[in-house]
Amino acid sequence: SVFIAAMFAPYCIESFSPCSPFQQNLRHTIVSSFQASPKADSYGLLFDCDGVIIETEELHRLAYNAAFREFNLRIENEPVEWTVAYYDILQNTVGGGKNKMFFHFRNTTGTFPKYEDDKPAPSTPEEEQDLVDRLQSRKTDLYKELIAEKAQARPGVLELMDEALADENIFVGVCSASTKEAVTKVLDVTLGEERRKKLDVCILGDDVSKLKPDPMIYVTAAERLNIDPKRCVVIEDSIVGLKAAKGAGMKCVITYTSSTENEDFYGMGCDAKVPELGSRGVTLDVIFGPMISKGLDAEILTDVRDPR
């Protein structure tokens, strides 16, 4: 059988992980962080959440705009609103919701908005941070409401995840730049509680000091798995995620969406891209078989991926 270590470390990060700490060793023997040598016969499969497990970017955009309306954000008497085209740019440029708002106000508009009952725009970094924190908190609540109404896993994701979860030699996990609160809701709705509790590690935006495209989140996952990053394959959907995965020294498979299908993923170094995992029949063997039989530098998904 294919031996895989899905980049969901062999234990949960208790401070924020949606994984139950009491589920940690039901499927795997916990690898001590003090072990000197990495696991030589394992591989890593690491899922992003938004856009990979579920196509959520439009729901994020709608939630942001709803929060902007509630706070009555206005710049030069015009309401703040993110269009579909603009949000496509944001999600492929900036990781994390607060970072997106800072980028918008500092780089795109060059000014922070007036808000609520015509309160003046924040004038200090502390005031800017406070407004962004409040917006993000309200946006998360609105996003969770939308998820409960509309969330559905992308084709093939659950099948691939179940295949990995069924193998005691495979570690499965999620690495997402989104907050614990938002991701936990998505996983509960799309994976179901039983499947979610089988995940070995979930590393979220709350747990790292640098977000994608910085590779920290994937480097952290490899460290907690005690595994060579070259043995890890990341499932991503955006340029931001691809840069993070490749920066960590991992292979990356892109499952693009309608908002990212025109990006030059191969030009940025992705190892394979497909519109969906399910429609292309992506399995553990298709991903890791070549690496096992031909070496870690072997090309993957050669028979099912989009042409280069």
Which range is least confidently modeled, 28-42, 68-82, 157-171, 232-246?
28-42
pLDDT beyond 80 at 166: yes
pLDDT of residue 133: 97
What is the pLDDT confidence band of residue 11, given thresholds at 50, 70 and 90?
very low
Angle between helices 180-190 and 125-150 (to 10 degrees): 10
pLDDT of residue 149: 85
Active site includes 237? no
pLDDT beyond 80 at 33: no
pLDDT of residue 152: 85
pLDDT of residue 197: 86
Q: What is the CA radius of gyration of the chain?
A: 20
Strand, helix or coil for residue 114: strand
Which one is catalytic: 48, 88, 200, 237?
48
Rounded distance between C-alpha atoms, residue 113 and residue 126, angstroms: 15
pLDDT of residue 38: 54
Which range is least confidently modeled, 47-51, 71-75, 150-154, 272-276?
150-154
Average pLDDT, the chain: 86
pLDDT of residue 32: 37
The pTM for the full model equals 0.75
131: its two tokens: 């407004």
Rounded distance between C-alpha atoms, residue 199 and residue 10, angstroms: 9
Angle between helices 284-294 and 157-165 (to 10 degrees): 60
Strand, helix or coil for residue 158: helix
Which is more confident, 164 or 259? 164
Work out the average pLDDT over 11-29. Answer: 42
pLDDT of residue 34: 35
Which one is catalytic: 41, 50, 162, 297?
50
Active site includes 306? no
Give 3-state DSSP helix, strand, coil % of the chain, rounded to 5. Answer: 40, 10, 50
Q: For residue range 84-135, what is the model confidence (pLDDT) as tens digits?
A: 999 989 988 898 899 999 999 999 999 999 999 889 999 999 999 999 999 9
Contacts of 173 (CB under 8 A, 6+ apart): 6, 7, 8, 9, 46, 47, 199, 200, 201, 202, 203, 221
